[in-house]
Structure 1
Amino acid sequence: MNRKVVVTGIGVVAPGGVGREAFWDLLTAGRTATRTITMFDPSNFRSQIAAEADFDATAAGLSAREIRRMDRAAQFAVVSAREALADSGIDLSGDPGRVGVSVGSAVGCTMGLEQEYAVLSDNGRNWLVDHSYGVPHLYGYMVPSTLAVEVARDVAAEGPVSLISTGCTSGLDAVGHGASLIREGTADIVIAGATDAPLSPITSACFDAIKATSPRNDDAEHASRPFDATRNGFVLGEGSAIMVLEEAESARRRGAHVYAELVGFAGRSNAFHMTGLKPDGREMAEAIRVALDQARINASDVDYINAHGSGTKQNDRHETAAFKRSLGERAYEVPVSSIKSMVGHSLGAIGSIEVAACALALDRQVVPPTANLENSDPECDLDYVPKVARDHDMDVVLSVGSGFGGFQSAMLLARPGAVASL
């Protein structure tokens, strides 16, 4: 069994605005949501900037009990899932055993864990902590699968429920896993995406230690500058994107609006270094090649590339090389952009946020720009769509991700009916 999989609903919580349309407006306007951190005092850190989501849980429809129980990342996921379901108009009351959930996250309930450790240890003064001061839901914060469980509980899904944690490719991999469940016949509907809320002192300290984040604290708005010659690290972010994935024939029968078809997905590992990347981009190129083969399309069919584009020197060189290696001359003809320039890098969540952006780009035939791209880097010599969104005819979009641990993922989305061979 190899059924077609389509996206029929999209929900987003992202920096710059809560909701799918606010997210899309930010991207197409080329606005940045990066700023000095307000969620804690960042003054002791090398990098003091982030892309924060202006999220009010009560205004987003969560009850007092839900807010008390759920970590911020879980709140993002549930709110995004509700928006996606409303957007899809799908009825889940049929057979809940045929409804699955696939959620990605790199760092789980980081904020809840850090907050509770601060309470239990009296802000680090006590080496031996008193567990009796912990909230009743502390165990849930320690188990990343809680995030997927909260979504499944909220939508009453009784099919396969998974938490995918593969670092910064978690979002892409979770959507890819959800699609595979439908293709193989295990589920008919999968609520798929990712969430992360990592903006806490422990996360800042970790990335400060390896100098991965940008120290451009005096110009937070322009600090995230993928592919620019003056880039000096990524900017942390937070957020969630959840999508309704559905078997294509079922979506057609109920007259659903289809944003995109998921036509190819592959993952590889570089087996090289925990944080380092080989400059030739071979492993990402191989993931792209396998995804193209799965979709039964050629490199010449790719019309837009949504890059990982983190804004680190090694990443931008690495994936530029991967595009050239996998797509050949087509790499010089197709527009490439990174939305991390606007919404930051939300670790495991960003892959699903980028898939949502790709589905919207296909639906509306607009390529989001790479903000803050002012100075060309000779090593990054492709068409990176600087600063201004571009109307563009698209049938096939490629989205890629690269993560610590050597993870490399590639996903292909197509405009409904555009790929005749499928």
Structure 2
Amino acid sequence: MPWPPASTTGRLPHEAASRRHEGRPPLVARRVVITGVGVLAPGGTGAKNFWSLLSEGRTATRGITFFDPSAFRSRVAAEADFDPHLHGLTPQEIRRMDRAAQFAVVTAREALTDSGLDLGGFDPHRTGVTIGSAVGATTGLDDEYRVVSDDGRLDLVDHTYAPQHLYNYFVPSSFSAEVAWAVGAEGPATVVSTGCTSGIDSVGHAVELIREGTADVMIAGATDAPISPITMACFDAIKATTSRNDDPEHASRPFDGTRNGFVLGEGSAVFVLEELDSARRRGAHIYAEIAGYASRCNAFHMTGLRPDGREMAEAITVALDEARMNPESIDYINAHGSGTKQNDRHETAAFKLSLGDHAYRTPVSSIKSMVGHSLGAIGSIEIAASVLAIENQVVPPTANLHTPDPECDLDYVPLTAREHRTDAVLTVGSGFGGFQSAMVLARPDRSVS
């Protein structure tokens, strides 16, 4: 059976502008905004250090130091310099939590402090948590398997060497539980795991909970700490990661004609989300409104992408519809930009398909060129980059872009950040399994049709 088209109308997504608002329900009254940002990423902890790295176009990719990588095809990564003691975690918390859970708790606390929100003034049952993660407690499970198997020597592992809290590593739900305990949230607590779109999808889910009235405040974001032998082996097997081991600093090259795979990273970003009117009443600093969100799946191939980018384009169009915005309203595109040949071409096609001619006039960049690809966490880290671009009216660059791929012919902001009016940002994600997600972030004082 031939594959059915994504749209039964036969029209391309950007041609839908004239029918955008036909038959749609009234705009949802509750508008959701970001009032707190917490970031832990390679090259710097905290939103301020993170933005400094991006705006200066510095890279945080290096040779792997967490373990001996000599047996692997790809031996570079974007590691975070993270000391849990310096971030206020107690010895018990450090012993109990996997590295990725530690990241989530630290960034949640930063976001809450940044928001100035006193959760004591809110019903704890209407304060929730959504955390995205692609690979859960990979680092902890890898480390503990080495212990119980005596570094792989035992065919039958010795369970007596397993730690008391090993179960927490097996259930990714422990991530949302840890964050909820840390902030005192007693409302809905969820982990979203949709591969590399988890960081967008977790925030999108949180937005819907506020819009529908289930929650008033959501602590939402994503975390992953996948730099481990098992993860490197998996990506080595399919040659998805770069083999440019002799030049780690310049190994991540999205949209460059010499790119040959992504650089694995790690990190976390968590946000405080509130209803707009409530945030205004308390005089909160508002970074951006989450104006639109959509997710699609290509139902096509576990790792492959069709070159026309139709599924991502559909997600973009639906996100714009929800935001009541036309393609021309987008000032900047924060691309998935993984640095694999098929992804970068797929995205380029999706932007053209969904935005039409405006795609050629819109700055696009990939921060993975600087902080690597932290799998499930990267979508939230890219949301952080997007809201900081709005905050600073600066578009971060695509580092290491020296030799443009002729098939990637948009404005990818090579090497150097650019001052640019940035009131509305489109950020997108693409993940194994065929997941395609898009989110529109904008200044809340924009006009809404």
Q: Distance in 2 between matches of 1:393 and 1:415?
A: 12
> Equivalences for 1:6-405 in 2 at 5 Å?
6-93=33-120, 94-405=122-433
TM-score by length of 2: 0.93
Structure 2 counterpart of 1:359, one-letter code:
V
Shift in Å, 1:363? 1.1
Q: CA deviation at 1:364?
A: 1.0
Alpha-carbon distance between aligned partners in 2 of 1:251 and 1:186, rounded to the nearest angstrom: 17
Aligned counterparts of 1:377 and 1:73: Cα–Cα separation in 2: 35
State how far apart, in whole Å, the 2-side matches of 1:163 and 1:114 are: 21
Determine helix, strand or coil for the equivalent of 1:217. Answer: coil
Give, in whole Å, the separation in 2 of the partners of 1:186 and 1:146: 22
Deviation (angstroms), 1:125? 1.1
Which ranges of 4 or more aligned residues in structure 1 deviate by more than 4 Å?
Answer: none
Whole-angstrom distance in 2 between the partners of 1:61 and 1:23: 19
Secondary structure of the residue aligned to 2:286 is: coil
Cα deviation, residue 394, structure 1:
1.6
Q: What are the ranges of 5 or more consecutive residues in structure 1 without an aligned counterpart?
A: none
How far 1:2 sits from its partner (Å)? 3.8
- 2:246 is paired with a residue whose SS is helix
Give the whole-Å Cα distance in 1 for the aligned partners of 2:442 and 2:40.
Answer: 24
- State how many pairs are aligned: 421
d(CA) in 2 for partners of 1:28, 1:233: 24
Q: Where do 5+ consecutive residues of structure 2 fail to align?
A: 1-27
Q: For 2:404 and 2:147, locate their aligned partners in 1 and report how far apart those are by CA, in whole Å.
A: 48
2:405 counterpart of 1:416: no
Residue 43 of structure 1 aligns to which amino acid in structure 2? Answer: S
How far residue 65 of structure 1 moved from its aligned partner, in angstroms, is: 0.6
SS in 1 for 2:53: helix
How far apart are the structure 1 equivalents of 2:61 and 2:267? 13
CA contact (8 A) 2:337 2:344 kept: yes
Question: What does the per-residue CA deviation read over 1:330-357, in whole Å, with 9 as the maximum and x for residues that have no partner?
Answer: 0000000000000000000000000011
- Helix, strand or coil: the match of 2:119? coil
Under a length normalisation based on structure 1, what TM-score does the superposition of the two structures give? Answer: 0.99
Letter in 1 for 2:85: T
- Report the Cα distance in structure 2 between the residues aligned to 1:164 and 1:60, rounded to whole angstroms: 25
The CA distance in 1 between the partners of 2:74 and 2:431, in whole Å, is 20
Q: Distance in 1 between matches of 2:305 and 2:312?
A: 10
Q: CA deviation at 1:418?
A: 1.5
Give secondary structure in 2 for the equivalent of 1:102: strand
Instruction: Name the amino acid aligned to 2:174.
Output: T
TM-superposed deviation, 1:420? 3.0
